[in-house]
Structure 1
Amino acid sequence: MKFISSHVHNDISKGLQREYYIYFVPRREIQCEKILEEENVHHLMTIGEYPLYVVPLDEDVLSFELDLAYKVDGDTGSLWQIAKAIHKLESSFGVIPNLRAKGKASVLVADILNRMQTEEPVSSSDMAVPEINTLILIDREVDMVTPMCSQLTYEGLVDEFLRINNGSVELDSSVMGVQQEGKKMKVPLNSSDKLFKEIRDLNFEVVVQVLRQKATSMKQDYTEMTTTNQTVSELKDFVKKLNSLPEMTRHINLAQHLSKFTSKPSFLAKLDMEHTIVEASSYDICFEYIEEMIQKQEPLINVLRILILFSVTNSGLPKKHFDYLRRELLHSYGFEHMATLNNLEKAGLFKKQESKSNWLTVKRALQLVVEDTDTANPNDIAYVFSGYAPLSIRLVQHAVRSGWRPMEEILKL
């Protein structure tokens, strides 16, 4: 706000007369307007708000795009926006009759939503039966294991290594076969790309096979076209296949680029260690692996993810091990990361162990580890992480099938 005010003052000093507009997304902020008043420019502004609460990223995905909503200081400012978005959704699809919430923030959102419904009732006269039957709210902190594990689907790996942002990924043009040095390209990744829609949720190894089969099939079709006489109908079918060639080329290039990361021994070793940690099969092996990662000075984000996974599944680390790893991290990566480690401790992600871990009980009760998953023809969500079924997904499955009442004791853990 002070930056904006400085521009206005600069215009005034030059004798320029202009109209000034400020629009807040998704709503006006009193603190911001107060600064404008203190800078004596508020009366010169036309101020409004644009109620954009969710962004449609795909045909079945709405995102709040609140990357910084999960705060260590417990700031709940984003919860009103989430509740407001759901309330607006209900104005289009009817009041959702069943609401389940797990976690403090989710319960708060449910309370705010109920208050909004009381203050601004959604008219149900035009919609006898709501189109949405159940809303399930789950706090991120309820399941901090899943985001620390490596995704193994095609879309998951693209996000893992290249970072999907607003439904697209930005990478060097050379990756896509365009030789323009230093130029970046944005590649859209959504359901409008029919091939991506087909392969996005497949295990990466299966995706490679699918792309190979499609490329071989197209090559055979081309050979037949050039060596035999084809009917008009056959020509038309071939042209249709040619229309999908840009999509196929795009994903072959992407898959080839991803394979450079997935074939690295360090990545494969990390996958094995993630599985060992989730299974809770050997504390000492896991501790030594993390110690070795720190000594090798592997990327800090990789070390912290595996460390958090280890700490969360063990309800923290014994004081001796906690102090040792913390000290080693600061010596290897620099004392400027002390604030990061302090925040992780405040959030309970990397902390001293105060009680016995209940991970084994939760793991068995919710069947979080599934052996012998068939990645080619999966029948369980565990294929996404090569044997680990996300805790949050298991909660949703139970909520839909039999409700949470039969597993209340497990949920308390």
Structure 2
Amino acid sequence: MRSLVVHLLSYTQRFANAKPKVLYVPQKTLIAEQILEDEFKLSQRFPTLQISSLDLDYVFLEEKVFSMELPLSFKSVFAEGDLCSLTWISRLLLKLQTSRFGAIPRIRGKGSNAAKVVQLLQRMQTEVGRDFITDIPSEVDTLLVLDRSVDLVTPLMTQLTYEGLIDELYGIENCEVRFPFSLGESSGVGTNEKVVINSGDKIFAEIRDKNFSGVGSVLYQKSVWVKQNYDKRKEVHQLKELKEFMKGLPEMQEMHRLIGIHTNIATEISKITQSSEFRKRIIMEHSIIQQANEGDVLKYIEGLIFRKEKFEVVVRLLALLSLINGGVREKELGSMKENMMLVYGIPQVISTFFLLERCGLLTLQNGRDGNYAAIRKQLQTWNASLNEEHPNDIAYAYSGYASPLVRVVEMLLRNPQLWDAADSSLNLLSGEMKECTTHAEISGATKTSIVFVIGGVTASEISALRFVEDRLSSGGRPHRIIVGTTDILSGNRMIHSLLPFQP
């Protein structure tokens, strides 16, 4: 608040006739207004000052992906129990119906926070009344609101799609990345400069959802295609042929530039993914998921601690182990905690463990192994016989591991009646279920569903949802999937948001 007042004073001194405005995103709060008035007497200093809200609820990152861009949503909802985010989500989902997609006849929520959002949304729709049904044709059949607590495991796993690995290793923010290496002279981008990566990049659009093991072959095929098209200039003998060649030249040059950029990125990623340390970590993650070799996993985590590996890397694996095994045994957890305090400091470890426990990411084992074995069997979260380059299952996004959250979406799209089944595998996942319905006529032949994830969704999960969409289409049941979320999540961002201090 103080910096805001200082900025206003500085600005109005330079521009005496200015009429300043203050916009709070997404909305102004009474406490903020009270502080500005009681402590800084803002209305006396700036009689013409206007304070209002900028209702920037969401942004479309891609044609079928939108985000509220609330980077601390996971911490605020699951660690701090802040319900403001749930109100904002409900308002957004109402706004989407009244201004963009029309009324949605079926809204379902799975998970405690998702159920609250559906309940809030139902109340808002009732308060709005018949005005809620606008002249906008209804495009969406179903809105599925999912709580991140339904599947806390997936964000902790290392993403293995091309886009997922870029996010894991370098971090994607609003479709922009800073790479700490050169992308080539023809790229037009310097080291550590922002690069936009989205579907506007034709090469990225083709390889973003692929498992990284299949990216190299696609880039090679594209480079051969460009070379063959360049070589056609040798066959040009007439003016008409030259004109046709020149017409396609700009596209070939742009493709050549993009292939160079992504070849450089893929090469740098390969240096990391082919390292023994990276491979070892993936093996440990897969061992945890299969509930095998627990002794080796514990030794590996201890080794990371003694080597002073990044704090969030250690915490991420420890949380994964806890979630899969229904907690960590008291003896092992006590030893880990003691060693971590010696290496990373007492305040850091104590504060982080407290927040991890609040989120349900770290618990003491109570003698039972939890229900993950049943989840793995019923939702088929492990696929040992998978062709990563030509996949037939969503597990390709994590090289064998299938996100329960994505699996639930896939199952419900294939069989909507599963929601009401008494013996539904949905009951294995935590949190209650809530549904509300509205009478609305759907326009368009292709079914459309919005999947909204509270607490964040990973890039690889979005890739897996696109895979589900493609499979339904190729199977003669076209179904458009629009993904919405509070923010794009990764394991590092998820854990880092819970750290009280910079390690």
TM-score normalized by structure 1? 0.92
Moved more, 283-292 or 151-160: 283-292
1:391 aligns to 2:392 (yes or no): no
2:183/2:189 contact within 8 Å kept: no
* Deviation of the 1:251 alpha carbon: 1.0
* Deviation of the 1:256 alpha carbon: 1.5
Q: Which amino acid aligns with 2:140?
A: I
Q: Which amino acid aligns with 2:385?
A: D
Q: Which amino acid aligns with 1:387?
A: G
Q: Which amino acid aligns with 1:165?
A: E
CA distance in 2, matches of 1:23, 1:31: 15
Partner of 2:144: 136
CA distance in 2, matches of 1:52, 1:159: 24
* Deviation of the 1:176 alpha carbon: 4.1
1:42 aligns to 2:43 (yes or no): yes
Residue 294 (structure 1) aligned to one of 296, 301, 305: 305
1:167 aligns to 2:172 (yes or no): no
Partner SS for 2:73: coil
1:264 aligns to 2:271 (yes or no): no
By relative contact order (CA 8 Å, sep 6+), the higher-ranking structure is 2
Partner SS for 2:31: helix
Moved more, 402-411 or 34-43: 402-411
Partner of 1:401: 414
* Deviation of the 1:167 alpha carbon: 0.8
CA distance in 2, matches of 1:329, 1:235: 63
Residue 324 (structure 1) aligned to one of 331, 335, 346: 335
* Deviation of the 1:354 alpha carbon: 2.3
What's the RMSD between the two structures over aligned residues?
A: 2.6
Partner SS for 1:169: strand
* Deviation of the 1:218 alpha carbon: 2.4
Partner SS for 1:404: helix
* Deviation of the 1:141 alpha carbon: 1.6
Offset from partner CA, 1:26-54 (integer Å, 9 cap, x none): 21211110111102113532112111100
Offset from partner CA, 1:100-119 (integer Å, 9 cap, x none): 21111111111111121122
Distance 1:340-1:409 versus aligned 2 partners, 3 A rule: closer
1:173/1:180 contact within 8 Å kept: no
Q: Which amino acid aligns with 2:4?
A: I
1:185 aligns to 2:189 (yes or no): no
Query: What aligned pairs does 1:268-347 form with structure 2 within 5 A after superposition?
Result: 268-338=279-349, 339-347=351-359
Partner of 1:375: 388
2:223/2:256 contact within 8 Å kept: no
* Deviation of the 1:405 alpha carbon: 3.0
Identity across the alignment (%): 33
Q: Which amino acid aligns with 2:156?
A: M
Query: What aligned pairs does 1:212-227 form with structure 2 within 5 A after superposition?
Result: 212-226=220-234
Query: What aligned pairs does 1:90-105 form with structure 2 within 5 A after superposition?
Result: 90-91=97-98, 92-105=100-113
1:109 aligns to 2:109 (yes or no): no
2:183/2:260 contact within 8 Å kept: no
Offset from partner CA, 1:41-81 (integer Å, 9 cap, x none): 13532112111100111111100111111231211111111
- Unpaired stretches in structure 2, ≥5 consecutive residues: 432-503
CA distance in 1, matches of 2:112, 2:280: 36
CA distance in 1, matches of 2:23, 2:140: 32
Q: Which amino acid aligns with 1:377?
A: H
CA distance in 2, matches of 1:292, 1:138: 36
Partner SS for 1:136: strand
Query: What aligned pairs does 1:139-158 form with structure 2 within 5 A after superposition?
Result: 139-158=147-166
TM-score normalized by structure 2? 0.76
Partner of 1:124: 133
Partner of 2:500: none
Partner of 2:89: 82
CA distance in 2, matches of 1:20, 1:95: 38
- Unpaired stretches in structure 1, ≥5 consecutive residues: none
2:327/2:363 contact within 8 Å kept: yes
Partner SS for 1:27: coil
Moved more, 117-126 or 374-383: 117-126
Offset from partner CA, 1:309-359 (integer Å, 9 cap, x none): 111101111111111111111112222412112211222212211251211
Moved more, 155-164 or 327-336: 327-336
Q: Which amino acid aligns with 1:134?
A: T
CA distance in 2, matches of 1:14, 1:200: 48
Partner SS for 2:140: coil
CA distance in 2, matches of 1:181, 1:404: 49
* Deviation of the 1:243 alpha carbon: 3.1
Partner SS for 1:244: helix
Q: Which amino acid aligns with 2:175?
A: G
2:149/2:430 contact within 8 Å kept: no
Distance 1:14-1:236 versus aligned 2 partners, 3 A rule: closer
Partner SS for 1:184: coil
Partner of 1:29: 29
